[in-house]
């Protein structure tokens, strides 16, 4: 059996280096047949499992939310058969009312949702500020001194990042100027000729028109593309300053739970999409976007039902929500949980550890993205992780995923991917991945967030056609059957040429 699986599920980490245009579905292609370092999805279906019947596998996507009506996802969404849709009654008596496609742990009973949240470092700073902002370190006991030093580190990091992201403030007036130009032209599609006709006597408008014309001429961008880029940058910097690094912002009142009680289970709402489901919808589509329907993309796995468990805001996820999301997924039949999120600090690692052990007890595989900082992962700088708080034992049902590029060769490892010989288990495609986007749209994405669902899709395929495999066996097979690079690759974050031979 293991030999068959070795042949079936190969090529998660492949050395094939050819300079060519990257096909939109490259992550599904084969290094031998297509000369692209994909995961051999098409080859597997065509040659190895064609005609075979697989069991249905539930994959939980713990993320920002999933668009359950997307054309490439609606028929593969998990449906809670024990719940009568939208009758306002907890028919299955699991504590979650109308949880048809999953649950939302960052929403309130009134239907409101958390969209933005702090980073964990900001929340920890806010926690310790009242006690240590004006503290005399010479009068602190040993435990307090440890907390005081952490507080001072957080304070310095917070101030550095606030200064860093305040430098993006120029995007707001630029965006306002572009809005004025749009109003002055009065057309949906604005051309360079339209810009030539504008009265540019106002210095700000004249400067914006000049920049826009240069970008249109030199970069081939449309006015709308310029606008979208500037708006995206402005939103990014604004979110950093107004929410993520702002200790005076705390949206938890929206949820209405007792945040001090990490063991509280019943809170949230039924909205599995939320205010921005772009990230989660992309992840879900990579795992199980309907194949061969001549629409959009082909996901990695068939025989899958996607359960959406919303627990990730624009900011850092909270440990309490992650733990409850894992438990919800396990209790409702998920055999694989995709977790494309992470952070640098942890508020309550023990509550997440308990949930991971709960998943292990129920034979559920956890697939986690390694992160995109181009750094080496340790158990103290990347959360959640597979090492329990005692620092000695690891979860055998956990697989940590880094990202590869479609170029292969020396550029096999994505330049942004986190890495670690000990703490990152496997690498999979994560650069320029065409994926689903809410409202029946599609877009390319890069990040370990999109490598993890590739692995989740393969794991789902394995558990569909070989349902007797345990979560631990799936991990073992994935790691033992992946192809190890024979030559040097560029080390993420530094570009240093290193050997990955094991």
At 482 the pLDDT is 86
pLDDT at 484: 77
DSSP lists the bridge partners of residue 301 as none
Ramachandran class of 88: left when φ > 0, alpha when ψ lies in -120 to 50, beta otherwise: left
The residue count of the chain comes to 502
Q: What is the pLDDT of residue 445?
A: 95
Q: Can you give the pLDDT at residue 11?
A: 35
Count CA within 13 A, CB hemisphere, residue 29: 18
pLDDT at res. 142: 96
pLDDT of residue 500: 62
Neighbours of 351 (CB within 10 A): 17
Give the residues of the chain that fall short of pLDDT 50.
1-20, 502
The conformation of residue 246, written as its DSSP 8-state character, comes to -
Nearest CA to 66 out of 313, 280, 234 is that of 280
Mean pLDDT of the chain: 92
Domain boundaries, the chain: 2-113+262-490, 119-249
**Quick one: pLDDT at residue 311?**
98
Looking at residue 501, what is its pLDDT? 55
Rounded to the nearest 10°, the torsion over CA 379, 383, 389, 394 is: -70
Pairing of strands 497-499, 488-490: antiparallel
Q: Which CATH number fits domain 2-113+262-490: 3.40.50.2300, 3.40.50.300, 3.40.50.200, 3.40.190.10?
A: 3.40.50.200
Tell me the chain's radius of gyration from C-alpha atoms: 24
Provide the pLDDT for residue 394: 96
Residue for token pair 């990490």: 262
């Amino acid at each position: 059996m293991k030999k068959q699986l070795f042949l079936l599920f190969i090529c998660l980490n492949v050395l094939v280096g050819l300079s060519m245009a990257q096909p939109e579905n490259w992550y599904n292609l084969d290094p031998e047949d297509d000369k692209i370092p994909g995961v051999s999805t098409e080859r597997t279906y065509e040659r190895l499992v064609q005609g075979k019947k697989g069991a249905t596998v539930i994959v939980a996507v713990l993320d920002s939310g999933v668009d359950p009506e997307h054309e490439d996802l609606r028929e593969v969404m998990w449906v809670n058969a024990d719940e009568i849709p939208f009758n306002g009654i907890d028919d299955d008596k699991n504590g979650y009312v109308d949880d048809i496609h999953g649950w939302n742990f960052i929403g309130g009973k009134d239907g409101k949702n958390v969209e933005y949240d702090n980073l964990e470092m900001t929340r920890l700073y806010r926690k310790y500020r009242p006690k240590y902002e004006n503290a005399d370190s010479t009068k602190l006991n040993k435990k307090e001194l440890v907390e005081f030093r952490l507080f001072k580190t957080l304070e310095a990091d917070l101030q550095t990042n606030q200064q860093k992201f305040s430098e993006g403030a120029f995007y707001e007036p630029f965006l306002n100027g572009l809005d004025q130009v749009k109003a002055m032209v009065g057309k949906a599609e604005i051309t360079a000729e339209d810009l030539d006709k504008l009265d540019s006597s106002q210095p700000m408008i004249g400067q914006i028109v000049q920049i826009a014309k240069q970008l249109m001429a030199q970069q081939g961008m449309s006015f709308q593309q310029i606008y979208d880029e500037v708006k995206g940058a402005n939103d990014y910097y604004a979110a950093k300053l107004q929410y993520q690094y702002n200790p005076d912002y705390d949206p938890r009142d929206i949820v209405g739970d007792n945040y001090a009680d990490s063991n509280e289970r019943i809170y949230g709402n039924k909205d599995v999409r939320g205010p921005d489901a772009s990230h989660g919808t992309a992840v879900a589509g990579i795992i199980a976007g309907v194949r061969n329907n001549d629409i959009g993309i082909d996901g990695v796995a068939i025989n899958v039902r996607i359960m959406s468990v919303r627990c990730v805001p624009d900011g850092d996820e909270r440990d309490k929500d992650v733990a409850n999301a894992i438990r919800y997924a396990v209790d409702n039949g998920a055999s694989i949980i995709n977790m494309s999120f992470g952070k640098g600090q942890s508020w309550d690692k023990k509550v997440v550890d308990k949930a991971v052990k709960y998943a292990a007890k129920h034979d559920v595989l956890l697939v986690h993205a390694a992160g995109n900082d181009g750094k080496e992962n340790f158990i103290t700088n990347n959360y959640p992780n597979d090492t329990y708080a005692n620092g000695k034992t690891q979860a055998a049902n956990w697989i940590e995923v880094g990202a590869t590029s479609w170029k292969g060769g020396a550029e096999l490892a994505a330049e942004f991917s986190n890495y670690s010989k000990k703490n990152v288990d496997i690498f999979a495609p994560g650069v320029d991945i065409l994926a689903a986007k809410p409202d029946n749209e599609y877009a390319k994405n890069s990040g370990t967030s999109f490598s993890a669902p590739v692995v989740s899709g393969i794991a789902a395929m394995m558990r569909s056609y070989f349902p007797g495999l345990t979560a631990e066996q799936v991990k073992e097979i994935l790691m033992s059957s992946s192809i190890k690079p024979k030559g040097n690759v560029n080390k993420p974050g530094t570009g240093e040429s290193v050997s990955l031979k094991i």
